[in-house]
Structure 1
Amino acid sequence: MAAASTRPKRSRDGRMSLGAHLIELRKRLFLAALGLVVGMVVGWIVSDFVLSALIRPITEISAEQGRAASLNFTDISSAFDLRIQIAFTVGVVLSSPVWLYQIWAFVMPGLKKSEKRYAVGFLASAVPLFLGGCAAGWYVLPHMVVLLTGFAPEGTTALLTARSYFDFVLKLVLVIGVAFVLPVFLVLLNFAGVLSAVAILKSWRIAILAITVFTAIATPAADVMSMFLLAVPMVLLYFAAAGIAWLHDRRVRRTQQSYDVELAV
């Protein structure tokens, strides 16, 4: 007897039931978690190197501001907790090809063979953009640490707790990484028929305002160069996503028109 298929059952029109969607979601979450665990193992191995890189901006405070600065572990388990956080962050970055693909596979299930190239294109664009965004966050990190600690009065000491400091780094690096991937998800929603290119283009003013506010929050207002370096590629990526969506919508319209002509004959 042939083995039963593990693929979710679909109705005649190709749609999945709620139960099938939940099964598919569980499968995608499991695979994403498995990739994250593997990435965390690697992250734990390189945690010493990452921690040294994280401490480097703190040592620059002494050189640029003439004040004592140090990273402090305030309780017994904080050093271990910090290593876990580092392993988790590195795991998220390293496993990004896995969980980005799982998001794509869940949102766009049942692709035909001719449409499989969309998945390749999605990964080929989303993964470099996410890693590039993380790199951009890592680039502005030292400038932000030195600038923000510079508001403290003269003669004071910068005693930074390890947990709060790494929470700041985590939010900065990962949030900017995700922000760089958002245009790819706009294209994904367009391919899924949820968002049209016209809707994306009509929202360009709101998008630019949101990007400006985001970069102003992610980088100190005094550091205009860092804000500019983050905002420009995000704006360009937004309009690139709108262009790709427009080309896709035009192709869909042409295909629909050819079908209508064939049916009319």
Structure 2
Amino acid sequence: MLKSARKTEKDPEGRMPLAEHLRELRNRLVKSLAAIVVATVITAFFYKDIIEFFTDPILAAVGCDYSFAELAKDTSETKCARIVQNGLLSPFTLALTVALSSGVVLATPVWLYQLWAFVAPGLHRHEKKYGLAFVAAGFPLFVMGAYFAYWSLPKMASVMLEFAIIGSDNQLPLDDLLQLIMRMILVFGLSFELPLLLVMLNFGGVLTGARMAGWWRGMILGITLFAAIATPSTDPISMLALAGPIWVLYFAATAVSLLNDRRRARRDAAGPADDEASELDLTPEDIGEIEPVPAAPALPEQATRDRVNGYDDVT
């Protein structure tokens, strides 16, 4: 009964007291953390498979297929790498880190929904539609960038290993290798969100499509420099693997922004939506027809300065 009464008392526009906002925020955070904990426990049983999934392509490109003694006797120009772990606690801490990171990723639909459920009641109808569209487009873009990072990492490793001494065995600490992989996935994934950010600024009225179209030379140069700095290797393949898709996404975001500018112009000409308040025009139509405001009548003069019971004639 109390829950149903509380639901019926909610404002249709999502307004509620500060205490209710804090209580709802607490409930959303608890549900998000619970989902992350459950996902972390599940992924803890498969952390070795997760590590192999990220490291196997690199080992396939630069891994050593024979022992260090045989490697020392080899006179060919063989360059390879071997993964190692340092310290007694390193395997345990690595398992916790991989399980927690994988749990956060696996629970993404839950905590994203909780965030949306907390913010959505205060949005207009068109803002909710745009918010869902941005979330639906942001996740595939991040996955696309992460895939490009996963695809280019073995090629980066092969290029970087070319700087090693011939016949040496390159030891790759597993902690450092996984940090490099995660960093590259985050950099590639977040960089693919740049066009979405530009579209969001355009839909928010901060940036116009015409201005974005005028920036194309500087954006191509900036994206190329960013790709050259973000990729650890010096080969052009890895740089183009990051810069090329962002170029395409930038021009796609420019096209979407130009279309949105035209749609906004037609919407402004048609008037506000049903759930929006129209702007009040307080400017008079004809200033010459404004009637002057009469002056306030003057108070009567004091007939005498004598007071009766403490009051004069006026009061």
Match of 2:134 in 1: 122
Superposition pairs of residues 1-265 of structure 1, within 5 angstroms: 2-3=5-6, 5=10, 7-9=14-16, 33=33, 36-56=36-56, 57-58=58-59, 60-61=61-62, 62=64, 66-67=78-79, 69-98=81-110, 110-219=122-231, 222-259=234-271
Give the letter aligned to residue 159 of structure 2.
L
Q: What displacement does 1:33 show?
A: 4.9
Q: What displacement does 1:221 show?
A: 5.5
Greater CA drift, 84-93 or 153-162 = 84-93
Q: Distance in 2 between matches of 1:128 and 1:225?
A: 23
Q: What displacement does 1:154 show?
A: 1.7
Secondary structure of the 1:194 match is coil
Q: What displacement does 1:148 show?
A: 1.1
Tell me, yes or no, if the aligned pair for 2:80 and 2:161 is still in contact at 8 Å.
Answer: no
Structure 2 vs 1, CA of residues 154 and 26 (structure 1 numbering), >3 Å: closer, same or farther?
A: farther
Q: Which of the pair is proportionally richer in helix?
A: 1
* TM-score, length basis structure 2: 0.66
Q: What displacement does 1:126 show?
A: 1.2
Q: Distance in 1 between matches of 2:249 and 2:22?
A: 32
The percent of aligned pairs where both chains have the same amino acid is: 36
Secondary structure of the 1:71 match is strand
Structure 2 vs 1, CA of residues 68 and 230 (structure 1 numbering), >3 Å: closer, same or farther?
A: closer
Give the letter aligned to residue 40 of structure 2.
M
Tell me, yes or no, if the aligned pair for 1:144 and 1:220 is still in contact at 8 Å.
Answer: yes
Q: Which runs of 5+ in 2 are unaligned?
A: 66-75, 273-278, 282-315
> Could you give the per-residue CA deviations for residues 166-224 of structure 1, whole angstroms, max 9, x where no partner exists?
11111001211111122112222222333332343333333222221222233356432
Tell me, yes or no, if the aligned pair for 1:58 and 1:145 is still in contact at 8 Å.
Answer: no
Q: What displacement does 1:95 show?
A: 4.0
Give the letter aligned to residue 147 of structure 2.
A
* TM-score, length basis structure 1: 0.77
Structure 2 vs 1, CA of residues 229 and 28 (structure 1 numbering), >3 Å: closer, same or farther?
A: farther
Greater CA drift, 135-144 or 87-96 = 87-96
Secondary structure of the 1:70 match is strand
Q: What displacement does 1:241 show?
A: 1.4
Tell me, yes or no, if the aligned pair for 1:40 and 1:90 is still in contact at 8 Å.
Answer: yes
Count of residue pairs brought into register by the alignment: 257
| RMSD between aligned residues | 3.7
Match of 2:302 in 1: none
Tell me, yes or no, if the aligned pair for 1:58 and 1:69 is still in contact at 8 Å.
Answer: yes
Match of 1:13 in 2: none
Structure 2 vs 1, CA of residues 219 and 125 (structure 1 numbering), >3 Å: closer, same or farther?
A: same
Q: Distance in 1 between matches of 2:22 and 2:254?
A: 31
Q: Which runs of 5+ in 1 are unaligned?
A: 11-16
